[in-house]
Amino acid sequence: MEAYRKEIEGLEIVTPQQLEEYRIKFLGTKGIVKSLFGEMKNVPNERKKEFGQVLNDFKQFAETKYETAKEQSAGNGQQAVEEIDLSLPGDAMQTGSRHPINLVRKRILDIFNRLGFAVADGPEIEDDWHNFTSLNLPEHHPARDMQDTFYIHQNPDWLLRTHTSNVQTREMEKGKLPIRIICPGRVYRNETISARAHCFFHQVEGLYIDEHVSFADLKQTLYFFVQELFGKDVKVRFRPSYFPFTEPSAEMDISCLICGGDGCRVCKHTGWVEILGCGMVHPKVLENCGIDSNKYTGYAFGMGIERIAMLLYQINDLRLFSENDVRFLRQFV
Our finding on whether 221 is near ligand 2U9 (CB under 6 A) is no
Short-list 213, 216, 205, CA closest to 245 = 205
Our finding on whether 302 is near ligand 2U9 (CB under 6 A) is yes
Short-list 16, 17, 21, 12, CA closest to 77 = 16
The count of residues in the chain is 333
Q: 229 vs 278, which CB is nearer to ligand 2U9?
A: 278
Q: 105 vs 163, which CB is nearer to ligand 2U9?
A: 163
Q: 22 vs 243, which CB is nearer to ligand 2U9?
A: 243
Kindly report the number of other CB atoms within 10 A of residue 214's CB atom: 11
Our finding on whether 301 is near ligand 2U9 (CB under 6 A) is yes
Q: Residue 150 and residue 154: Cα distance in Å, rounded?
A: 12
Our finding on whether 297 is near ligand 2U9 (CB under 6 A) is no
By Cβ distance, which residue is nearest to ligand 2U9? 277
Q: Which stretch binds ligand 2U9 (CB under 6 A): 100-108, 149-157, 161-169, 192-200?
A: 161-169
Tell me the DSSP string of 257-322: TTTTTS--TTTTTSSEEEEEEEEEEPHHHHHHTT--TTT-EEEEEEEEHHHHHHHHHT---TTHHH
* Site map 251..290 versus ligand 2U9, x via CB under 6 A: -------------------------xxxx-x---x-----
Our finding on whether 136 is near ligand 2U9 (CB under 6 A) is no
- Please report which residue ranges of the chain form alpha helices under DSSP H: 2-10, 16-22, 32-38, 45-83, 100-114, 128-131, 165-173, 215-230, 283-288, 305-313, 320-323, 326-329
Our finding on whether 185 is near ligand 2U9 (CB under 6 A) is no
Name which position in 221, 246, 255, 297 contacts ligand 2U9 (CB under 6 A): 246
Taking every pair of C-alpha atoms in the chain, what is the biggest distance, in angstroms? 126
Q: Residue 53 and residue 59: Cα distance in Å, rounded?
A: 10
215: helix, strand or coil: helix
Name which position in 169, 221, 255, 297 contacts ligand 2U9 (CB under 6 A): 169
Q: Which residues pair with 159 in a beta bridge?
A: 126, 151
CB of 243 to ligand 2U9, least distance (A): 5
210: helix, strand or coil: strand
Q: 100 vs 304, which CB is nearer to ligand 2U9?
A: 304
CB of 257 to ligand 2U9, least distance (A): 18
CB of 207 to ligand 2U9, least distance (A): 5
Please work out, in degrees rounded to the nearest 5, the angle formed at the alpha carbon of residue 217 by the alpha carbons of 212 and 223: 175
Our finding on whether 184 is near ligand 2U9 (CB under 6 A) is no
Q: Residue 299 and residue 183: Cα distance in Å, rounded?
A: 14
The region, left, alpha or beta by phi > 0 then psi within -120 to 50, assigned to residue 140 is left
CB of 154 to ligand 2U9, least distance (A): 27
Q: Is 247 annotated as a binding residue?
A: yes
CB of 166 to ligand 2U9, least distance (A): 8
Name which position in 303, 308, 309, 311 contacts ligand 2U9 (CB under 6 A): 303
Our finding on whether 137 is near ligand 2U9 (CB under 6 A) is no
Residues near ligand 2U9 (CB under 6 A), total: 22
First to last CA, the chain: 72
Our finding on whether 300 is near ligand 2U9 (CB under 6 A) is yes
Binding site listing: 247
Residues that bind ligand 2U9 (CB under 6 A): 135, 163, 165, 168-169, 203, 205, 207, 243, 245-246, 276-279, 281, 285, 300-304
Binding site listing for Mg(2+): 247
